Amino acid sequence: MNGRGLAADGTIAREGALARVPAEFAPVVEAARAGVASAFGGRLHSGYLYGSIPRGTAVPGVSDLDLLLALREEPTAADRADAQVLGTALDAAFPQIDGVGVLLFSVRTLLSDLERHDLGFFVACLCTPLLGADLAERLPRYRPTGLVARETNGDLGLALPAWRARAVAAATAEAGASAQAEAEAEAERRRLGRAVGRRLVRTGFTLVMPRWGGWTSDLDTSAAVFGRYYPERAEQMRVAAATGRRPSGSPDVLGMLLDDLAPWLAAEYTALHGVKAPRP
């Protein structure tokens, strides 16, 4: 891998590896491996890690554990319930992690033509094999193109209404409420800020990715690369990266992200790359 995340042939190199998992998180990964195998058994085709843990950049007590599971059939309500139970158990057992996310998809969906440059790209380039046969062997090698940009983040505008509704709900719950309700509202703003900050930084990076000619998932690097092309928005993107790492719960920061940076970014993205192919 070169300094821009590319292999020698110019394709995007897979960014994570089990060998890069920090020692503090090795027990978490082994417990996740055992837990996934026990919970899903023959329903599981393959399991993957993604995020900061397999990239080797995870911070104990701050980083979350991210898993993607490829099931042999379409996920059911029972599958999602099992994933929730597994995630809750891992989160409670290991103080090294702050939350667990488990994505569930069928093999058919992950390998479909519709998802070739979105979920397929995600598995092939951003996911680290943990269990089972690696689906990346059945997917193409990817380059930092406008097509990848469009299909990975060309739907930011669709997320804005739900984010704003969550922010309004948190503000409404906090107004004139008890101390406990205020604390819960602030916790919801932190959760929302973390999700929004990460998504905006990743979208900002893929906006300029074809011009930069490389790939990174690091939030700070992504924000810095974006700032080279949009210096007038660089500080806002830096704040988004900081919020994605350590959300403060500040209504002012969340308001800036949702009411200024996000709508501008969605419009700029559509103008440059178009809107991703609609999903059924």
Contact 47, 133 (CB under 8 A): no
Which amino acid would we find at residue 22? P
159 and 265 share a domain?
A: yes
In terms of residue numbers, what domain contains 35? 18-138
108 and 192 share a domain?
A: no
pLDDT per residue as tens digits for the range 64-106: 999 999 999 999 999 999 999 999 999 999 999 999 999 999 9
Any domain includes 223: yes
pLDDT of 187 higher than 90? no
Domain limit, last residue, from 138, 164, 181: 138
Token pair, residue 132, equals 């089972």
Three-class SS state of 173: helix
Instruction: Report CA 12 to chain centroid distance, whole Å.
Output: 17
d(CA 65, CA 43): 21
The CA distances from residue 108 to 75, 113, 201, 210, 280, in Å, are 11, 10, 30, 29, 14
Which amino acid would we find at residue 164? R
126 and 151 share a domain?
A: no
131 and 150 share a domain?
A: no
Any domain includes 6: no
117 and 195 share a domain?
A: no
121 and 206 share a domain?
A: no
pLDDT of 166 higher than 70? yes
145 phi, psi to nearest 5 deg: -105, 170
Any domain includes 199: yes
> How many independent structural domains does the chain possess?
2
246 and 130 share a domain?
A: no
Any domain includes 260: yes
pLDDT band at 248 (very low <50, low <70, confident <90, very high): confident
d(CA 113, CA 101): 25
Strand partners of residue 66:
50, 101
Instruction: Report CA 253 to chain centroid distance, whole Å.
Output: 20
105 and 163 share a domain?
A: no
Q: What pLDDT does 261 receive?
A: 98
Across 30-44, 153-167, 242-256, least confident range: 242-256
205 and 133 share a domain?
A: no
Residue with the larger pLDDT of the pair 121 and 180: 121
Any domain includes 10: no
Any domain includes 178: yes
Q: What pLDDT does 186 receive?
A: 84
Q: Where are the beta strands (DSSP E) in the chain?
A: 44-50, 65-71, 100-106, 127-132
Cβ neighbours of 267 (radius 10 Å): 12
Any domain includes 8: no
Q: Taking residues 259-265, report their average pLDDT.
A: 98
Across 101-105, 171-175, 197-201, 228-232, least confident range: 171-175
82 and 150 share a domain?
A: no
Reported pTM? 0.91
Domain limit, last residue, from 75, 104, 138: 138
Contact 142, 107 (CB under 8 A): no
CATH number of the domain to which 63 belongs: 3.30.460.10
22 and 112 share a domain?
A: yes
Mean pLDDT of the chain: 94
Any domain includes 1: no
pLDDT of 2 higher than 80? no
Across 13-27, 165-179, 198-212, least confident range: 165-179
Q: What pLDDT does 245 receive?
A: 86
Q: Taking residues 199-219, report their average pLDDT.
A: 97
Domain limit, last residue, from 77, 104, 138: 138
Q: Taking residues 252-270, report their average pLDDT.
A: 96
37 and 122 share a domain?
A: yes
Q: Taking residues 114-137, report their average pLDDT.
A: 98
d(CA 280, CA 258): 27
96's CB contacts (< 8 A; 6+ apart) are 24, 25, 27, 28, 58, 60, 61, 63
Q: Which residues of 113-124 are buried (b: 16+ CB within 10 A; e: fewer)?
A: eebbbbbbbbbb
Q: What pLDDT does 176 receive?
A: 62
Taken as a whole, the chain contains a residue count of: 280
